[in-house]
Amino acid sequence: MAKICVPVCVRRIDELKTATQQAARLGNVVELRLDCLEDPEGALSIVRELLDHGGTDLIVTMRAPEQGGAGSHSYDARRSFWMRAKELPGVLFDVEFEFVNRSPDLAIDLNRVICSHHDFAGMPADLNQLYEGMAASSAKLIKIAAQAADAVDCLPIFQVIDRARTEGRQLIAIAMGSAGIMTRVLGPSRGSLLTYGSINDESGTAPGQLTARDLRELYRIDQIDSQTQIFGIIGKPVGHSLSPRIHNAAFAAAGINAVYLPMEVQDAIAFMRRMAHPNTREIDWNLRGLSVTAPHKAAVMQCLDWIDPTAKDIGAVNTIVAEDGRLLGYNTDAEGFVSPLRTRLGDLGGVRCAVIGSGGAARAVLWALRKAGAEATLVARNRERANDLAQRFKAACPPQRPEKFSGFDAVINATPMGTRGPTVNETPASAEQLRGVRLAYDLVYNPSETRFLHEARAAGCDTLGGIEMLLAQAVEQFKLWTGSEPDREVMRVAALKTLAN
Per-residue pLDDT of 412-429, as tens digits, reads 999 999 998 899 999 999
Assign domain 346-465 to a CATH class. Answer: alpha beta
Alpha carbon distance 276, 230 (integer Å): 11
Mean pLDDT of 324-349: 96
pLDDT at residue 246, rounded to an integer: 98
Return the half-sphere exposure (C-beta side, CA atoms, 13 A cut-off) of residue 452. Answer: 31
For residue 105, what pLDDT band results from cuts at 50, 70 and 90?
A: confident
- Percent of the chain, pLDDT > 90? 87
How remote is the C-alpha of 456 from its chain's centroid?
Answer: 31
Alpha carbon distance 258, 230 (integer Å): 6
Asked if the domains 4-225 and 346-465 are classified in one and the same CATH topology, the answer is: no
pLDDT at residue 483, rounded to an integer: 97
Do 130 and 145 meet the contact criterion of CB atoms below 8 Å apart? no
Alpha carbon distance 8, 229 (integer Å): 33
Q: Which of 140, 297, 312, 404 is catalytic?
A: 297
pLDDT at residue 54, rounded to an integer: 78
pLDDT at residue 501, rounded to an integer: 82
pLDDT at residue 421, rounded to an integer: 86
Backbone angles phi, psi at 144, to 5 degrees: -125, 125
Alpha carbon distance 402, 379 (integer Å): 8
pLDDT at residue 106, rounded to an integer: 85
pLDDT at residue 39, rounded to an integer: 87
Closest CA to 172 of 35, 31, 73: 31
Task: Give the tens place of pLDDT for each residue, 272-305.
Answer: 999 999 999 999 999 999 999 989 999 999 999 9
Residues 6+ apart with CB under 8 A from 195: 2, 3, 4, 5, 172, 174, 184, 185, 187, 188, 215, 221
pLDDT at residue 200, rounded to an integer: 94
Return the half-sphere exposure (C-beta side, CA atoms, 13 A cut-off) of residue 493. Answer: 9
Residues 6+ apart with CB under 8 A from 295: 235, 236, 359, 360
- What H or E segment, with its residue span, contains residue 184? helix 181-190
Fold exhibited by the domain 232-331+477-500: Rossmann fold (3.40.50)
**55: pLDDT strictly greater than 80:** no
Task: Give the tens place of pLDDT for each residue, 197-251.
Answer: 999 999 899 999 999 999 999 999 999 999 999 999 999 989 889 999 999 999 9
Task: Give the tens place of pLDDT for each residue, 310-333.
Answer: 999 999 999 999 999 999 999 999
pLDDT at residue 1, rounded to an integer: 79
Give the end-to-end CA distance of the chain in Å, rounded to a whole number. 28
Q: ∠ at Cα 140 (138, 144), nearest 5°?
A: 90
pLDDT at residue 135, rounded to an integer: 93
Backbone angles phi, psi at 152, to 5 degrees: -65, -15
Task: Give the tens place of pLDDT for each residue, 149-196.
Answer: 999 999 999 999 999 999 999 999 999 999 999 999 999 999 999 999
Residue 314: DSSP 8-state: H
Distances (CA, A) of 212 to 99, 170, 379: 29, 22, 44
For residue 140, what pLDDT band results from cuts at 50, 70 and 90?
A: confident
Cβ burial 95-109 (10 Å sphere, 16+ → b, else e): bbbebbeebeeeebe
Alpha carbon distance 168, 166 (integer Å): 6
Whole-number mean pLDDT of the chain? 95
- Percent of the chain, pLDDT > 70? 100
Please name the residue ranges forming H helices in 299-426.
309-314, 333-345, 360-372, 383-392
Phi/psi class of residue 325: alpha, beta or left (left: φ > 0; alpha: ψ in -120 to 50)? left
Alpha carbon distance 281, 345 (integer Å): 45
For residue 260, what pLDDT band results from cuts at 50, 70 and 90?
A: very high
Range with the largest mean pLDDT of 104-118, 276-290, 388-402: 276-290
Task: Give the tens place of pLDDT for each residue, 1-43.
Answer: 799 999 999 999 999 999 999 999 999 999 999 999 988 888 9
pLDDT at residue 381, rounded to an integer: 87
Instruction: Tell me which amino acid residue 9 is.
Output: C
Mean pLDDT of 136-144: 92
For residue 406, what pLDDT band results from cuts at 50, 70 and 90?
A: very high
Annotated active-site residue 297? The verdict is yes
Outline where DSSP puts E strands in 212-318: 229-235, 258-264, 287-292, 306-307
pLDDT at residue 62, rounded to an integer: 95
DSSP, collapsed to helix, strand or coil, labels residue 186 as helix
- What H or E segment, with its residue span, contains residue 456? helix 451-458
The CB density around residue 145, as the number of other CB atoms within 10 Å, is: 22
CATH no., domain 4-225: 3.20.20.70
pLDDT at residue 450, rounded to an integer: 96
- What H or E segment, with its residue span, contains residue 489? helix 488-500
How remote is the C-alpha of 194 from its chain's centroid?
Answer: 19
Domain extent listing, the chain: 4-225, 232-331+477-500, 346-465
Instruction: Tell me which amino acid residue 173 is.
Output: A
Backbone angles phi, psi at 37, to 5 degrees: -70, 140
